[in-house]
């Protein structure tokens, strides 16, 4: 009998009924005792601070009593938490965490390393860089040129990505101003491939160089100037130094060219945190240009080109384009390959390049399905044989393969990596970009680059303290579930199969109700709307689906919900490109009515992170169970008499 | 025999020799099993997914073998981590974590709540708000008016504080533009108390209003306009919407008043992350105005006034003043009371107000020493009777009491709160400020304010996911160690006593070497320089102290260090105000030589977070031990013959 991943899967998690409780307890206890004996063996000549007699004092006993009692209180409170672990939970992007990550986190937490410098985390800083390199290899980045690190989550990772993108875009401007002041001449490559002297380029051309070329010119400039003079001769000309207010005026003075403000192109489905990010960076919400989605909820590449053509014509600088790999609401995977084609066309035809960022916070780990055990790319046929006859299609595979050409990618291990919060990650295709955000604290003397990376990761990142335990959790989880077909690829493939089974089952007859489904998802989030023939107005329909949501969530007024889903609202204009087929199926709601409704259409959302959903012989058939519960929930909202038909 | 905090202290931590291993293991096991039975009891009618027979398959067994083996590998690796727990560790701001926080973290981590919405964290979101309210009460904020939450750490907390400060400063400008457009008239209060119509004020006056008055006018404006029109009539005029580039031009157009760019006043001792923060916010490094420190390493209030007088004369807007409570390098506590006096004077004499932020990431918890069990302020005499005859002095108490008047305060539980990473906190004196950063995601329909707070904390914070486990850790720790003389006040008092004992001991004869100490610290970081009569040049002295640092750190070339310290570099001009007494004692180094040395003076740094250091009958006398080890380290660097005198 050979080892099957279906069996391995059963060892990876504590289990919906805590079936692996013995295993988890054994490993937790092992980690705890191991730490205990480390303390005992450290300078054993030191005396005992807490003597056994101390433990018999009222002060000690009171403190232990308080601790025990308050812990019992906390444990009781936690019973009101969300049962993410259950096959009945289909809500947010969270399910069980791997045993490896739970134990890894706990083990390292006892040491409490701070992954900001090796002085405070000699072991886990290395694990963090290893983990980032593993993720980089998975998406296809060149390990020698790329770099990455962990963050507290997707918002900080995306924030760092856009912060770096802005710094890169403005580099050639700073370089041009520095060259002008020093009378230096530096050659740069334009996006269409023609060489030029940096002094010849206007502001619009400078802001439209390719990122790699911008970093090249920056590097050349630094080589041409002694290090001690960098600040005075180069850095003084950067946006980071001058700030936006001064820079706005200085660009006017130096280039006499009042360009429109730089914009950020963002897929209309992007996470709401992008708005916080552009606000805080000082870019401003107004400068977000949303790119419409197609009927698969993917960024519409044609629409992107149209936007770019307008931006090119109005000479508007583009700071970055944010494409999504696994949208929060629908798990849609943008056609990143087409986004990159559009950029190439813009470089050729408009002489305009820009930073492409993939927000793969949710979907990044799905790239593991494309990797064989030896790290090579699997064929489409091999993957389909494992997962589904029609998944993934060639377009999906091209989108995932394109990640290796994105300038930056963010991936959250605490989503499809099945590890505890907090664990986000940012990957940079060109490691030189990290130098642009470096700040040296007084307790680190300048060193050459390599030493800096090993000793003081904090130099290149935003956060000043970060749990090394998170790095240990991700590291151990990657050891047990490799980032290929044996580990995460298999796990995520099972959730895709589960989501497809659920999507199919929702097409069954649930009369007198009807379920209108969004298209089969790109990964594993199934969206749908329930309806009843008696409901015709959009407001009624929304009220009905809100009611169903309340039945199938912890918001349920009476009793436990049978299953747990979430809901979202699909509004205009962000979803204009995707809504027509949905409205067509709904039948009674016109596009104009939908567009005028500020709350849009209420949509129910089932996230399938449970790899056991698509079992052939399940212990409990949660696919059928879900459809039946949905039917009962609809009935409960509509009134019991509505159910007699079924 | 009554309960003594000295005895309670012995139950709070696992102990340097893991003396409380049984207790920790019992509670961890309890938490684990409690969670296990929760899973078992959830829908018990669901079948078992992982059957006992599954556990006898090769796939399962291989997975368990890999997990166990890789965990053993991780545990072995972790042995090379830093022994923070030991009485011998006096390096960075970390020691042991309270058992309460370790168990609280672990217990909640098994549930893995995400403190961004109650839908994903119904219990721990409440705990987070409770914990923030406890910290707010400790520093003296009015619970009804203030608000706070946890963050991943100090950098994000400080970032949020300055982001909010900037938003507040620009509110009256947006309000004035909105009023102008609508032909509305609104009364505002100038910093000197005189009322004015907002339309009468120039740009400089608008940017210099008090924060509360700015929020008042904002609130009045919102009340005057229907909610559906807020965006079009009000928000469109904000910096957050327009972005810095457009705003810079718009202010020029609307006010025709080219003011200098807004600056941020920062204590010269402030953490290096402030530079990252102003860069990323688009304010620019150039706009940091460092305020010199006095000989106690505290922000010099007279120098602050001088800076403000110049800024007032040049009509330069001040976005915020950042004062530090517990500097990273020296644990110095700025005279916040004097900072606030200077602001009052600026309001009166210059008609100029600004946001005052206290970066109490390190020192915030020390406010617990000022609180009695019933929450009232303790008298100076009572505190001194507990801790030291001359600590705290009246100035220190006034500084801590002044926290209640700061507009925002950041406090890191993962520093003097003795909890695991990640746990920072931000507190706002006026809760209305949080509305200025609010972004509504599609899955939250607009609700009234109160419901929003309870249901969706993510609306008001930067990060989109946050471990609820961190909130549980801090919450349980506060239950066992209250934020007053019984808990954190006692704990931190012991570390202060320890630091003072160490400081005193470093004054003893260590011939042929000499130790030049910084002043007695405001909390518990002891800084000093070692020297030998043969060393006269600054470069030699620095090399010597770098050598001593290597002996007393994990950078030691051979063998384990006896003790672990860190080192920093004290450079000009940031430390000009503090260096003279140090140079006087060193004897051979002139101010001019020091000022010209880019690396400044190398200083050794012992952070005393070990509450057992100042025991009357210690198990091991680590005060004497440290001085003896320092002597040996000096000898090892200078050569063994140098030691014969001692």
Q: Residue B305 in contact with residue B250, Cβ under 8 Å?
A: no
In this predicted structure, the answer to whether residue A497 has a pLDDT above a threshold of 70 is yes
Cis amide prior to A392 (ω within 30 degrees)? yes
In this predicted structure, the answer to whether residue A152 has a pLDDT above a threshold of 60 is yes
Tokens of residue B92, six digits: 């960075």
Under the banding of pLDDT at 50, 70 and 90, the label for residue B454 is low
Percent of chain A with pLDDT over 70: 96
Q: What is the pLDDT of residue B1?
A: 55
Looking at CA atoms only, how far is residue A345 from chain B in angstroms? 28
- A244 vs B39, B244, B620: nearest CB: B244
Contacts of B115 (CB under 8 A, 6+ apart): B121, B124, B125, B128, B150, B457, B466, B467, B468, B470, B471
Mean pLDDT throughout B45-64?
A: 96
Which pLDDT tens digit goes with each residue over A614-638?
988 888 999 999 999 999 999 999 9
Q: What is the pLDDT of residue B450?
A: 44
Q: Residue B324 in contact with residue B287, Cβ under 8 Å?
A: no
Nearest to A635 by CA among A503, A541, A510: A510
Environment class of B304 (CB within 10 Å of its CB; exposed 0-12, middle 13-18, buried 19+): buried
Nearest to A546 by CA among A563, A526, A566, A527: A566
Nearest to B612 by CA among B24, B82, B9: B9
Contacts of B465 (CB under 8 A, 6+ apart): A152, A153, A154, A155, A412, A414, A421, A422, A424, B114, B116
Q: Which residues of B touch A111 (CB under 8 A)?
A: 78, 81-82, 84
Calpha distance B164→A306 (Å, rounded): 36
Q: Nearest residue on chain B to A269, judged by CA atoms?
A: B442
Contact B63 A7 (CB under 8 A): yes
Tokens of residue B557, six digits: 């070339």
Nearest to B355 by CA among B395, B317, B310: B317
In this predicted structure, the answer to whether residue A451 has a pLDDT above a threshold of 80 is no
Calpha distance B52→B46 (Å, rounded): 16
Mean pLDDT throughout A120-132?
A: 95
Q: What is the residue-averaged pLDDT of chain A? A: 94
How big, in percent rounded to 5, are the helix, strand and coil portions of chain A?
Answer: 50, 10, 35
Q: Nearest residue on chain B to A415, judged by CA atoms?
A: B465
Under the banding of pLDDT at 50, 70 and 90, the label for residue A448 is very low
In this predicted structure, the answer to whether residue B444 has a pLDDT above a threshold of 70 is no
Environment class of A599 (CB within 10 Å of its CB; exposed 0-12, middle 13-18, buried 19+): middle
Q: Nearest residue on chain B to A622, judged by CA atoms?
A: B46
3-class DSSP state of B164: helix
Classify strands B355-359 and B408-410 as parallel, antiparallel or unpaired. parallel
Under the banding of pLDDT at 50, 70 and 90, the label for residue A449 is very low
In this predicted structure, the answer to whether residue B268 has a pLDDT above a threshold of 80 is yes
Which residues share a beta bridge with B358? B323, B409
Contact B421 A467 (CB under 8 A): yes
Q: What is the pLDDT of residue A450?
A: 43
Residue matched to tokens 């030896």 = A374
Q: Which residues of B touch A97 (CB under 8 A)?
A: 112
Q: Residue A159 in contact with residue A446, Cβ under 8 Å?
A: no
Q: Which residues of B touch A243 (CB under 8 A)?
A: 244, 261, 278, 282-287
In this predicted structure, the answer to whether residue B211 has a pLDDT above a threshold of 90 is yes
- A156 vs B21, B97, B463: nearest CB: B463
Contact B462 A59 (CB under 8 A): no
Contact A8 B472 (CB under 8 A): no
Contact B38 A79 (CB under 8 A): yes
Contact B46 A465 (CB under 8 A): no
Nearest to B250 by CA among B164, B354, B173: B173
- A282 vs B249, B281, B424: nearest CB: B281
Which residues share a beta bridge with B151? B424
Among A8, A78, A109, which would you mutate to test the B interface (most chain B Cβ atoms within 10 Å of its Cβ)? A78
Looking at CA atoms only, how far is residue B488 from chain A in angstroms? 13
Calpha distance B412→B356 (Å, rounded): 18
Which pLDDT tens digit goes with each residue over B154-188?
999 999 999 999 999 999 999 999 999 999 999 99
- B86 vs A43, A83, A278: nearest CB: A43
Q: Which residues of B touch A420 (CB under 8 A)?
A: 109, 112, 467, 469
Classify strands A566-570 and A601-607 as parallel, antiparallel or unpaired. antiparallel
Q: What is the pLDDT of residue A588?
A: 87
Q: Which residues of B touch A11 (CB under 8 A)?
A: 55, 59-61, 63-64, 67
Q: What is the pLDDT of residue B403?
A: 98
Among B442, B458, B468, which would you mutate to test the A interface (most chain A Cβ atoms within 10 Å of its Cβ)? B442
In this predicted structure, the answer to whether residue B446 has a pLDDT above a threshold of 60 is no
In this predicted structure, the answer to whether residue B524 has a pLDDT above a threshold of 60 is yes
Q: Residue A109 in contact with residue B75, Cβ under 8 Å?
A: no
Burial letters B126-145, b for 16+ CB under 10 A, else e: bbbbebbbbbbbbbbbeeee
Which pLDDT tens digit goes with each residue over B376-424?
999 999 999 999 999 999 999 999 999 999 999 999 999 999 999 999 9
Entry pTM: 0.97
3-class DSSP state of B196: strand
Contact A58 B3 (CB under 8 A): yes
Looking at CA atoms only, how far is residue B104 from chain A in angstroms? 7
Q: Nearest residue on chain B to A39, judged by CA atoms?
A: B17
In order of A318, A319, A467, B281, B437, the CA distances from A356 in angstroms are 10, 9, 29, 21, 26
Calpha distance A421→B327 (Å, rounded): 29
Which residues share a beta bridge with B323? B358
Cis amide prior to A529 (ω within 30 degrees)? no
Looking at CA atoms only, how far is residue B387 from chain A in angstroms? 19
Q: Nearest residue on chain B to A272, judged by CA atoms?
A: B441
Which pLDDT tens digit goes with each residue over B332-371?
999 999 999 999 999 999 999 999 999 999 999 999 999 9
- B7 vs A54, A114, A420: nearest CB: A54
Which pLDDT tens digit goes with each residue over B554-594?
888 888 899 999 999 999 999 999 999 999 999 989 999 99
Pick the most confident of B44-48, B509-513, B518-522: B518-522
Calpha distance A414→A101 (Å, rounded): 10
Calpha distance A168→A171 (Å, rounded): 5
Looking at CA atoms only, how far is residue B396 from chain A in angstroms? 26
- B107 vs A40, A74, A122: nearest CB: A74
Q: Residue A254 in contact with residue A280, Cβ under 8 Å?
A: no
- A152 vs B38, B414, B463: nearest CB: B463
In order of A42, A560, B137, B408, B461, the CA distances from B433 in angstroms are 49, 37, 18, 10, 11
Q: What is the pLDDT of residue B644?
A: 54
Q: Which residues of B touch A169 (CB under 8 A)?
A: none
Nearest to A327 by CA among A304, A286, A358: A358
Nearest to A63 by CA among B3, B422, B545, B558: B3
Q: What is the pLDDT of residue B511?
A: 92
- B25 vs A32, A104, A286: nearest CB: A32
A616 or A516, higher pLDDT: A516
Calpha distance A474→A105 (Å, rounded): 8
Tokens of residue A148, six digits: 């990455």
Q: Which residues of B touch A239 (CB under 8 A)?
A: 282, 284
Contact B439 A276 (CB under 8 A): yes
Calpha distance B289→B311 (Å, rounded): 10
Query: How many CB pairs lie under 8 A apart between chains A and B?
Result: 570
Q: Residue B158 in contact with residue B266, Cβ under 8 Å?
A: no
Under the banding of pLDDT at 50, 70 and 90, the label for residue B503 is very high
Q: What is the pLDDT of residue A644?
A: 54
Calpha distance B300→A141 (Å, rounded): 50
Q: Nearest residue on chain A to B103, judged by CA atoms?
A: A71
3-class DSSP state of B565: coil
Calpha distance B73→B71 (Å, rounded): 5
Q: Which residues of A touch B245 (CB under 8 A)?
A: 244, 248, 261-262, 284
Calpha distance A615→A490 (Å, rounded): 13
Looking at CA atoms only, how far is residue A585 from chain B in angstroms? 23
Looking at CA atoms only, how far is residue A119 from chain B in angstroms? 8
Q: What is the residue-averaged pLDDT of chain B? A: 94
Tokens of residue A564, six digits: 């747990």
Mean pLDDT throughout A317-341?
A: 97
Among B426, B460, B464, B622, which would you mutate to test the A interface (most chain A Cβ atoms within 10 Å of its Cβ)? B464
In this predicted structure, the answer to whether residue A494 has a pLDDT above a threshold of 50 is yes
DSSP A349: I
In order of B147, B266, B278, the CA distances from B340 in angstroms are 21, 14, 22
Contact A241 B94 (CB under 8 A): no
Looking at CA atoms only, how far is residue B422 from chain A in angstroms? 6
In this predicted structure, the answer to whether residue A447 has a pLDDT above a threshold of 50 is no
Which pLDDT tens digit goes with each residue over A359-370?
999 999 999 999
Q: What is the pLDDT of residue B449?
A: 41
Task: Region of A267 please: left (phi>0), alpha (psi -120 to 50) or beta.
Answer: beta
Calpha distance A119→A209 (Å, rounded): 39
- A94 vs B68, B114, B424: nearest CB: B114
Classify strands A263-267 and A288-291 as parallel, antiparallel or unpaired. parallel
Q: Which residues of A touch B285 (CB under 8 A)?
A: 240-241, 243
Under the banding of pLDDT at 50, 70 and 90, the label for residue A299 is very high
CA atoms in the 13 A half-sphere facing the CB of A288: 27
Calpha distance B579→B601 (Å, rounded): 9
Q: A615-621 long-range contacts, Cβ below 8 Å, gap at least 24?
A: A615/B49, A618/B47, A618/B49, A619/B46, A619/B47, A619/B48, A619/B49, A620/A87, A620/B45, A620/B46, A620/B47
Which pLDDT tens digit goes with each residue over B5-49?
999 999 999 999 999 999 999 999 999 999 999 999 999 999 899
Under the banding of pLDDT at 50, 70 and 90, the label for residue B442 is low
Calpha distance B461→B157 (Å, rounded): 10
């Amino acid at each position: 009998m050979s080892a099957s991943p279906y069996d391995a899967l059963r060892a990876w998690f504590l289990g919906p009924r805590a079936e692996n409780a013995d295993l988890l307890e054994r490993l937790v206890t092992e980690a705890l005792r191991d730490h205990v004996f480390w303390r005992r063996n450290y300078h054993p000549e030191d005396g005992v601070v807490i003597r056994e007699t101390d433990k018999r004092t009222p002060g000690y006993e009171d403190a232990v009593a308080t601790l025990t009692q308050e812990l019992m209180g906390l444990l009781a409170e936690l019973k009101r938490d969300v049962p993410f672990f259950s096959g009945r939970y289909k809500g947010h992007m969270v399910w069980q965490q791997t045993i490896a990550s739970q134990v890894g986190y706990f083990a390292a937490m006892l040491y409490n390393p701070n992954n900001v410098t090796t002085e405070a985390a000699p072991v886990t800083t290395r694990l963090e860089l290893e983990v980032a390199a593993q993720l980089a290899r998975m998406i296809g980045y060149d390990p020698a040129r790329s770099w990455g690190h962990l963050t507290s989550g997707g918002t900080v990772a995306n924030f760092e990505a856009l912060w770096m993108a802005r710094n890169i875009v403005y580099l050639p401007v700073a370089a041009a101003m520095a060259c002008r002041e020093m009378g230096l001449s530096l050659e740069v490559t334009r996006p269409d491939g023609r060489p030029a002297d940096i002094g010849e380029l206007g502001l619009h051309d400078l802001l439209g160089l390719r990122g790699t070329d911008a970093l090249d010119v920056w590097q050349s400039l630094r080589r041409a100037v002694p290090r001690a003079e960098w600040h005075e001769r180069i850095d003084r000309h950067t946006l980071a130094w001058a700030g936006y207010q001064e820079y706005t005026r200085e660009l006017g003075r130096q280039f006499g060219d009042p360009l429109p403000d730089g914009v950020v192109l963002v897929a209309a489905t992007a996470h709401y945190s992008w708005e916080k990010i552009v606000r805080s960076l000082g870019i401003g919400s107004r400068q977000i240009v949303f790119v419409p989605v197609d009927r698969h909820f993917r960024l519409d590449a044609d629409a992107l080109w149209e936007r770019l053509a307008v931006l090119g014509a109005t000479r508007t600088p583009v700071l970055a384009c944010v494409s999504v790999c696994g949208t929060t609401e629908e798990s849609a995977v943008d056609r990143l390959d087409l986004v990159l084609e559009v950029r190439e066309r813009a470089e050729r035809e408009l002489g305009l390049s820009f930073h492409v960022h993939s927000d793969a916070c949710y979907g990044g780990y799905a790239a593991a399905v494309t990797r064989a055990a030896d790290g090579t790319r699997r064929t489409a046929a091999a993957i389909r044989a494992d997962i589904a006859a029609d998944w993934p299609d060639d377009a999906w595979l091209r989108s995932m393969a394109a990640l290796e050409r994105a300038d930056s990618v963010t991936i959250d291990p605490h989503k499809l990596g099945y590890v505890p919060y907090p664990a986000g990650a940012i990957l940079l295709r060109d490691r030189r970009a990290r130098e642009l955000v470096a700040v040296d604290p007084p307790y680190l003397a300048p060193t050459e680059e390599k030493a800096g990376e090993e000793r003081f990761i904090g130099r290149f990142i935003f956060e000043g303290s970060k749990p090394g335990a998170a790095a240990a959790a991700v590291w151990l989880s990657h050891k047990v579930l490799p980032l290929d077909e044996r580990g995460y690829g298999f796990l995520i493939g099972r959730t895709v199969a589960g989501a497809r089974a659920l999507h199919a089952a929702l097409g069954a007859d649930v009369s007198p109700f009807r379920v209108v489904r969004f298209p089969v998802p790109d990964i594993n989030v199934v969206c749908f709307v329930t309806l009843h023939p008696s409901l015709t107005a959009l407001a009624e329909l929304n009220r009905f689906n809100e009611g169903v949501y309340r039945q199938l969530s912890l918001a349920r007024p009476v009793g436990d919900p049978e299953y747990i889903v979430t809901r979202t609202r699909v509004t205009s204009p962000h979803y204009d490109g995707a809504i027509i087929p949905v409205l067509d199926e709904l039948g009674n709601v016109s596009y104009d009515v939908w567009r005028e409704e500020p709350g849009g259409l209420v949509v129910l959302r089932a996230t399938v992170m449970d790899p056991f959903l698509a079992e052939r012989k399940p212990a409990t058939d949660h696919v059928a169970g879900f459809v039946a519960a949905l039917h009962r929930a609809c009935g409960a909202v509509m009134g019991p008499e509505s159910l007699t038909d079924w």
